[in-house]
Amino acid sequence: MFAFLRISAFVSVTLWRLPSRFLLGLAGATALHWLLNFPILLMIWNAAGLGKTFWLTANQLWLLLFFVLSLALLSYFTFGKFSPGRALFGRRRCPECATEYDAPFFAVNFGATRYERCPHCRY
Question: Where would I find the H helices in the chain?
Answer: 2-16, 22-45, 52-79, 84-89
- Tell me which residue of 53, 60, 75 sits closest to 5, measured CA to CA: 75
Averaged pLDDT score across all residues of the chain: 78
CA–CA dist 49, 17 (Å, integer): 40
Interatomic CA distance for residues 17 and 71, integer angstroms: 19
Q: Which residues contact 102 (CB under 8 A, 6 or more apart)?
A: 79, 83, 85, 86, 91, 92
Q: For 2-39, how does the pLDDT look when each residue is reduced to its tens digit (9 = 90+)?
A: 566 666 777 777 777 677 887 887 888 888 888 888 88
pTM over 0.85? The answer is: no
